[in-house]
């Protein structure tokens, strides 16, 4: 993996609620789809809430193909959680935000990886204006050395470029890691030596495009660091409100 996992993004949602907002006995609900992606997120968040002696106040299923979430939003509104952690994707996200706006859902919404996709802002507009969402990968407008270099090189070859979406920076990050691995593997390049080269990464800096990258023989996951972002509806992007962070509690 080139960055933190979905589970790590969910952990930052909980940490931010408890440590930054200093919530006292908050009612936290989870919205997720009834597929493995959702089930894994449910399990990880449930276990992490225990670190704070908490449990879900409510859960709701919105599947990724659902085009309407009226019943789910009305049920959530009735249970009135302080915070909702949204762990969904595709149409499920759009349905959530449109229905939440329509029915006046008041709970503060935090989102995991797919919530922090710029396409969601394009489609839902100001329905997302108060959302906070987590990403392990930065955005085009981020004020970091790595992103400045990304913009410089991109506009050198494509001068008319004004903005690239996160999928572009995700590809850039993966390419950075791949290039460094190839460099470390040297001329004796084969699958085994490339893996061995990756396993020498220890706090490899991406210049803020992601958190530091580390691999080992026993762990091929780049790290667990994420940033919390707020929504910039006008520019259809996300603005960081934290630096990269590890989960407050280790597994």
* Same domain (yes/no): 131, 180: no
Question: What pLDDT does 90 receive?
Answer: 87
Q: Which letter does DSSP use for residue 153 in this model?
A: H
Per-residue pLDDT of the chain (251 residues; tens, 9 = 90+): 889 999 999 999 999 999 999 999 999 999 999 999 999 999 999 999 999 999 999 999 999 999 999 999 999 999 999 999 999 998 999 999 999 999 999 999 999 999 999 999 999 999 999 999 999 999 999 999 999 999 999 999 999 999 999 999 999 999 999 999 999 999 999 999 999 999 999 999 999 999 999 999 999 999 999 999 999 999 999 999 999 999 999 87
Q: Is beta strand 83-86 parallel, antiparallel or unpaired with respect to 108-111?
A: parallel
- CB 95 within 8 Å of CB 66: yes
Q: What is the CATH number of the domain that holds 102?
A: 3.40.50.2300
Residue 245 located in a structural domain: no
* Same domain (yes/no): 202, 233: no
* Same domain (yes/no): 236, 172: no
- CB 143 within 8 Å of CB 207: no
Residue 248 located in a structural domain: no
Question: What pLDDT does 250 receive?
Answer: 86
Q: Helix count (H) and strand count (E) of the chain?
A: 8, 7
Q: Is 92 left (phi over 0), alpha (psi -120 to 50) or beta?
A: alpha
Q: Which domain does 20 fall in, by range?
A: 6-136+225-240
* Same domain (yes/no): 109, 193: no
- CB 133 within 8 Å of CB 108: no
* Same domain (yes/no): 102, 169: no
Residue 250 located in a structural domain: no
Helices (H), ranges, the chain? 6-15, 36-49, 70-79, 91-103, 118-124, 145-157, 166-185, 191-198
* Same domain (yes/no): 115, 13: yes
Q: Which letter does DSSP use for residue 224 in this model?
A: -
The angle that helices 6-15 and 36-49 make with each other, rounded to 10 degrees, is: 40
């Amino acid at each position: 993996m080139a960055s933190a996992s979905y589970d790590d993004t969910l952990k930052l949602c909980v940490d931010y609620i408890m440590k930054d907002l200093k919530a006292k006995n908050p009612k936290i609900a989870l919205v997720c789809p009834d597929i493995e992606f959702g089930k894994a997120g449910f399990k990880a968040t449930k276990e992490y809430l225990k670190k704070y002696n908490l449990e879900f106040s409510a859960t709701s299923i919105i599947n990724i193909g659902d085009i309407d979430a009226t019943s789910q939003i009305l049920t959530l509104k009735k249970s009135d959680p302080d915070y909702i952690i949204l762990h969904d994707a595709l149409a499920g996200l759009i349905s959530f935000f449109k229905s939440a706006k329509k029915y006046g859902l008041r709970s503060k919404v935090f989102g995991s990886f797919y919530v922090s996709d710029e396409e969601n802002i394009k489609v839902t507009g100001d329905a997302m204006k108060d959302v906070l969402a987590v990403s392990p990968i930065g955005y085009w407008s981020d004020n970091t050395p790595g992103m400045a270099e990304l913009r410089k090189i991109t506009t050198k070859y494509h001068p008319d470029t004004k903005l690239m979406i996160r999928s572009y920076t995700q590809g850039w990050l993966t390419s950075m890691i791949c290039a460094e691995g190839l460099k470390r593997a040297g001329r004796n390049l084969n699958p085994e030596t490339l893996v061995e080269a990756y396993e020498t990464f220890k706090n490899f800096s991406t210049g803020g495009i992601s958190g530091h990258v580390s691999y080992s023989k026993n762990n091929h996951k780049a790290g667990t660091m994420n940033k919390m972002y707020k929504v910039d509806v006008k520019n259809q992007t996300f603005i960081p409100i934290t630096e990269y962070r590890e989960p407050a509690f280790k597994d």
